[in-house]
Chain A
Amino acid sequence: METSVLCRLNSAVEKYGDKIAYKDPENSLTFSQFNDLTRSIGTYLARLVPAGAPVVVMSGRHIFTPACFLGVVRAGCFYAPMDGDMPVTRLNQILGVIKADYMLVDKAHLDIAQGLEFRGTIFVMEDIIDYPVSDELLEQREKTLICTSPLYVIFTSGSTGVPKGVITSHQSLMTYIDSVSKVLDINDTDVLGNQSPLDYIAAIRDIYFPISRGASTFVIPKNEFAVPTALFETLNREKITALCWSVAGVELPAKLGAFDVLKPEYLKKLCFSGSVMPCKYLKIWQENLPDVLYVNQYGPTEATASCTYYVVKEKVDDDTVLPIGTPYDNYRVTLLTEDNKPVATGETGEICVSGPILALGYYGNAGYTEKAFIQNPLNPNYRELIYRTGDLGSFDENGILHFHGRMDRQIKHLGHRIELGEIEEAARKIDGVVDCCSLYNKPKEHLYLFYTGDATSKDIVLSFRKNMPAFMVPRKLVNLDKLPTLPNGKIDMQTLKTYFK
Chain B
Amino acid sequence: MMDELMEILEELRPDVDFANETKLITDGILDSFDIVALVGELNDAFDIEIKPNNLVPDNFNSAKAMLALIEELQDE
Contacts and interface: CB of A to CB of B under 8 A. Distances in A.
A255 B55 CA distance: 12
Contact of B31 (A225, A228, A229, A256): A225
B36 interface: yes
B6 to A, nearest CB: 13
Residue of B10, B32, B39 with most chain A CB atoms under a 10 A cut-off: B32
Interface string B46-60: 000001110111001
A248 interface: yes
Contacts of B52: 228-229, 256-258, 260-261
Interface in A209-256: 222-223, 225-230, 248, 252, 255-256
A369 to B, nearest CB: 32
Interface stretch (A266-274, A311-319, A335-343, A454-462): A454-462
Contacts, number: 60
A465 interface: yes
Contacts of A462: 14-15
A252 B32 CA distance: 8
Given A222-B28, A458-B14, A261 B36 contact: no
Contacts of A227: 25, 55-57
Contact of B51 (A260, A465, A471): A260
A483 interface: no
A227 B51 CA distance: 11
Interface in B25-40: 25-26, 28, 30-37, 39
Nearest to A461: B14
A300 B70 CA distance: 42
B55 A470 contact: no
Contacts of A458: 10, 14
A475 interface: yes
A256 B25 contact: no
B39 to A, nearest CB: 7
B15 A226 contact: no
Contacts of B30: 226
A256 B15 contact: no
Interface residues of B, number: 23
A248 B14 contact: no
A137 interface: no
B15 A461 contact: yes
Contacts of B60: 226
A222 B14 CA distance: 22
B38 to A, nearest CB: 10
Contacts of A124: none
Contact of B15 (A223, A261, A414, A465): A465
Contacts of B25: 223, 226-227
A223 B13 CA distance: 17
Contacts of A228: 52, 55
B8 to A, nearest CB: 13
A257 B28 CA distance: 21
Nearest to B33: A414
Interface in A455-501: 457-458, 461-462, 465, 470-471, 475
Given A226-B30, A458-B14, A461-B15, A257 B35 contact: no
Given A228-B55, A229-B52, A257-B52, A457 B39 contact: no
A256 B57 contact: no
Given A458-B14, A462-B15, A465-B15, A226 B53 contact: no
Interface string A175-188: 00000000000000
Interface of B: 10, 13-15, 25-26, 28, 30-37, 39, 51-53, 55-57, 60
Interface of A: 222-223, 225-230, 248, 252, 255-258, 260-261, 414, 457-458, 461-462, 465, 470-471, 475
10 contacts: A223-B26, A225-B31, A226-B25, A226-B32, A226-B35, A229-B52, A229-B53, A229-B56, A230-B56, A461-B14
Nearest 8 interchain pairs by C-beta: A225-B32, A257-B52, A465-B15, A226-B32, A458-B14, A226-B35, A461-B14, A261-B52
Given A223-B31, A226-B60, 18 more contacts: A223-B25, A223-B28, A226-B30, A226-B31, A226-B34, A226-B35, A226-B55, A228-B52, A230-B56, A248-B33, A255-B36, A257-B52, A261-B53, A414-B33, A458-B10, A458-B14, A461-B15, A475-B37
